[in-house]
């Protein structure tokens, strides 16, 4: 098992390297001159050139990348062009909110998707299956920004049950924070849950007709035992893959959801930075999000070896 994990870690190194190059090149692909922004719109050319030299933008791209990567490896993400504050400090203030929203959205996605997918598969061609299939189609068709607005109008404006936005303090008042979290987490989770429930249904249906499942039923095992012990466990590999990919979609969807609900996370920080052309913040946020996505997929990749020993042993045969 250790050899399997090490192989996956080694395979992740080129991915991390290529991702860092892509994030670095973002600074040079976006319109605008960072040196001009730092110096000010009315700065004379000599001042702009001095700022460009101080930022190292007069160096060849490979040299700039090497210097930038060295700073990143030391934990130095640079300073904001406008606020002059360390980017690591700004991200440290906003990242907990995004992590909280993404984790809540993922948990809600799993708790909605798995039961719906299992029920639709085990009760195929019944009214329950038809209702779930229609609901998943509707959930996938509704854009999350429109869903968020509808939820605010219904539960915050009309009924007054939940706050329309902002964020509380999870540690000081968890009950109040839960009220703030419900609407954005549900808005973020619903499209992913509908998609995951369809995949769960297809995976469970495929496994229901396998020989070992028929043997378990022939032995007289209860239907619940057959589904949980023989069907669901063997269906988890594609489901885990989908969940790991959902992390990336959740982080991307958080940009929109945080804006709708005024959630003070990385999404609103990035949007503000894009509007201000504060490239150092945009680079650092993208690097963080890409890193999280790579780590989550690496964890999912390693988990395959635990879920299905054939995957773990395949590398040895080669």
56: left (phi over 0), alpha (psi -120 to 50) or beta: left
The pLDDT score that the predictor gives to residue 39 is 65
Which residues of the chain does CATH 1.10.3720.10 include? Answer: 96-277
Residue 113 to residue 214: CA distance in whole angstroms: 25
The pLDDT score that the predictor gives to residue 22 is 82
Q: Please, what is the end-to-end C-alpha distance for the chain in angstroms? A: 15
> Tens of pLDDT along 7-64?
777 777 787 888 888 888 876 676 666 666 666 667 777 877 777 777 677 777 788 8
The pLDDT score that the predictor gives to residue 129 is 85
The pLDDT score that the predictor gives to residue 5 is 66
Please give the CATH number for the structural domain made up of 96-277: 1.10.3720.10
Phi, psi of 132 (to 5 degrees): -65, -40
The pLDDT score that the predictor gives to residue 72 is 84
State the Rg of the chain over Cα.
24
The pLDDT score that the predictor gives to residue 37 is 66
Look up the pTM and report it: 0.78
Residues of the chain with pLDDT under 70: 1-5, 27-28, 30-41, 55, 229-230, 304-318
Per DSSP, the three-state class of 64 is helix
Residue 103 to residue 109: CA distance in whole angstroms: 10
């Amino acid at each position: 098992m250790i050899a399997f994990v090490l192989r996956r870690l080694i395979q992740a190194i080129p991915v991390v390297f290529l991702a860092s190059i892509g994030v670095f090149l973002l600074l040079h692909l976006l319109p605008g001159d960072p040196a001009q922004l730092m110096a000010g719109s009315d700065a004379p050319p000599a001042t702009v050139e001095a700022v460009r030299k101080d930022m190292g933008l007069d160096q060849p791209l490979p040299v700039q990348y090497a210097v930038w990567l060295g700073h990143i490896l030391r934990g130095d993400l640079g300073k904001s062009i406008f606020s002059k504050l360390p980017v690591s400090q700004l991200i440290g203030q906003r990242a907990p909110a995004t992590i909280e929203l993404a984790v809540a959205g993922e948990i809600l996605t799993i708790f909605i998707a798995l039961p719906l997918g299992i029920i639709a598969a085990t009760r195929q061609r019944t009214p329950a299956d038809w209702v779930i299939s229609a609901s998943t189609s509707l959930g996938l068709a509704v854009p999350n920004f429109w869903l968020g607005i509808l939820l605010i109008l219904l539960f915050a404006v009309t009924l007054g049950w939940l706050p329309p936005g902002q964020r509380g303090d999870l540690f000081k008042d968890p009950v109040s924070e839960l009220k703030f979290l419900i609407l954005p987490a549900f808005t973020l989770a619903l499209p992913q849950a509908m998609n995951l429930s369809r995949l769960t249904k297809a995976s469970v249906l495929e496994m229901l007709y396998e020989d070992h499942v028929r043997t378990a039923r022939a032995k007289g095992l209860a239907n619940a035992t057959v589904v949980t012990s023989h069907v669901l466990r063997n269906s988890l590999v594609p489901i885990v893959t989908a969940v790991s990919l959902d992390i990336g979609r959740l982080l991307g969807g958080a940009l929109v959801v945080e804006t709708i609900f005024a959630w003070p996370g990385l999404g609103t920080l990035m949007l503000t930075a894009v509007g201000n052309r504060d490239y150092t913040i945009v680079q650092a946020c993208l690097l963080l999000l890409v890193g999280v996505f790579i780590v989550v997929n690496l964890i999912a990749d390693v988990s395959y070896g635990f879920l299905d020993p054939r995957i773990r042993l395949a590398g040895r045969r080669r």
